Chains A and B, each alone.
Chain A
Amino acid sequence: MSTDPDRELRQLARAMVADDDPPTIPPWPLDADVEPRGSGRMAGRRLLVVAATVILIVAAVGGLVALGVVDDAAPADAPATSAPATTVAPTVTTPPTTIPSATLVAPPSPSTSTATATATPSTPSDTSGAAPTSPSSPTPCEGPPGPDIAYPLQLCDGGLAVAVLKQELAAKGYLPPSTANLALFDDQVDAAVRAFQTDHGLVVDGLVGPITWAAITADYQRRVGDPNGDGHLDPAEVGIIGDANEG
C-alpha cells in the first residue's frame, strides 16, 4: 500500500468509461420498429392478441423446426435438420394480407395448435403455417427473443447471426444502411428477407432457414470460411468465430 495502487486503477477505470467525455445516450424511442409494449399503435387489443398468437405459433413452429422438421423448401443441404419430409414448390408467394387468424387462434393448447398450424395450409411447400406474420403492420416483438443460432431465423430473433444476416442484406441493397438494432430481426428485416426470397425464387415466407441463409450469406461465407469444415457456415458457427478471444 505504499504507492496507493488504487489511484492508478481509478484513473484507468475513469478513462475506460470515458468519464470526461461519455458517449451520447441514444434518445428514447430506441427504435421505431421495436416500441415498448403497450404503445397504442395498433388498432386495438384484438389485433395485438392476434399478433401475439401468431408470434406464439411462429415460436412453436420454430421449436418444431429445431426438433428436426423443415422450414425452407430445402431438403438438400440442411445441416442441422435431417428430415426434410414435406418440401417442394420453390415459388409460392404467401398472400401477405390474408391472415388465417381464425384458424390460427382457434386451437387452444399449444401442442395441437402447432399441429394444426402446420397441417391446415394446403400449400405443400411451406411447413410454416405461421408464415403470414403480417408484413403490413409493425409487429411488436412480444415473444421471447428467439434462439440466436437455430434455424429458422425469423421475426423477433436476435443475436450475432441476425447481425450477420442484416449486414449481408444491407450489402445486397435489401436493407438501408443502419446501425440501429443491428442484432434484431425486425419487420424491416422480415420485409427484406421476403424481397430477397422473391427475387431468388425461394419460398417467400420471411423465415431464414438453411437455403435462405446460405443464399443471403454466400458472400460472407466465402470471406469467413467454414470453421468446423462441414461445408456450411451455419448460424451456430457464426457465434463460434472469435470466441477464442474470450476468457
Chain B
Amino acid sequence: MDVGLSSDEVVYVQLAPELIRFATGLVGRDDAPDVMSTAFVKAMSSPSWRSVRDRRAFMYRAVLNEARTWTRRRATRPIREAAAAWRDAADEPAAGDTAVAEAVAALSLRQRAVIVLTYWADLPPADIADRLGISEGAVRRHLARARARLREVLHVD
C-alpha cells in the first residue's frame, strides 16, 4: 500500500485526488481543499515524514486529524465570523442535498470517515482500520453506529 515515491510533489499528485474526496466527506466541499493542503503541509514538514512507510495511510490520518481541528474551529462561531470575511462565498458546506447535509451533521468525524471509506472507496474493514490507525473492531463499531444514526436521520433501511 506504500506509494513508494520519493518526491513530495509526486506523493501529493498521487494522493491528492482521493484525499480531497475523503476530506470532502469529512468537512464538506468548501473546507476540503484547505483541510487537505494543511494536512499535507504539516505532514511533510514533520520530521517523521521521511521515515513513514505507508504514506497513504499516514495522510489519511493526517487529513482526519486536520478535519478535527477544522471542525472545532467551525464550532466556534466567533472565529467563523472572523474568518467569513476571508472566505469567498459559502460559509456553510454547500452540500446541496439537504439529506446529505443532515447525514453529515449527524455523524461524528470517525463515522463519516468509515462511511466514506466503506461505501465510496469500497474498502474492507481491515484496510480502513489500517488507514485510520484504529482497530478493526473499532471500524465495525463506528460503522454500526453510523448506520444506526443514518437510519434515524434519513430513514435509510
Contacts and interface: CB of A to CB of B under 8 A. Distances in A.
Dominant secondary structure at the B interface: helix
B129 interface: no
Dominant secondary structure at the A interface: loop
A177 interface: yes
Contact of B24 (A17, A140, A243): A17
B84 to A, nearest CB: 10
A34 B74 CA distance: 24
B8 A36 contact: yes
A26 B115 contact: no
Interface in A55-97: none
A40 interface: no
Given A12-B103, A17-B24, A142 B47 contact: yes
B46 A145 contact: yes
Interface in A145-172: 145, 156, 158-160, 163-164, 167-168, 170-171
Interface band, chain B: 35 or more
Contacts of B120: 10, 13-14, 16-17, 19
B34 A145 contact: no
Interface string A1-37: 0010110111011111111011111101011001011
B119 A19 contact: no
A136 interface: no
Nearest to A170: B86
Given A13-B115, A242-B72, A245-B75, A18 B86 contact: no
A247 to B, nearest CB: 4
A42 interface: no
Nearest to B11: A36
B82 interface: yes
A45 B82 CA distance: 40
A112 interface: no
A12 B100 contact: yes
B132 interface: no
Contacts of A23: 20, 24, 29-30, 32-33
Interface centre among B71, B78, B147 (most CB of A within 10 A): B78
B13 interface: yes
B21 interface: yes
Contact of A15 (B8, B86, B97, B109): B97
Interface stretch (A102-110, A120-128, A180-188, A204-212): A180-188
Given A17-B21, A179-B87, A26 B119 contact: no
Contacts of B73: 160, 163, 242
Contacts of B8: 36-37
A241 interface: yes
A30 B41 contact: yes
A178 interface: yes
B115 A16 contact: yes
Contacts of B24: 16-18, 22-23
B33 A24 contact: yes
Interface of A: 3, 5-6, 8-10, 12-19, 21-26, 28, 30-31, 34, 36-37, 140-145, 156, 158-160, 163-164, 167-168, 170-171, 177-184, 220, 223-224, 238-239, 241-247
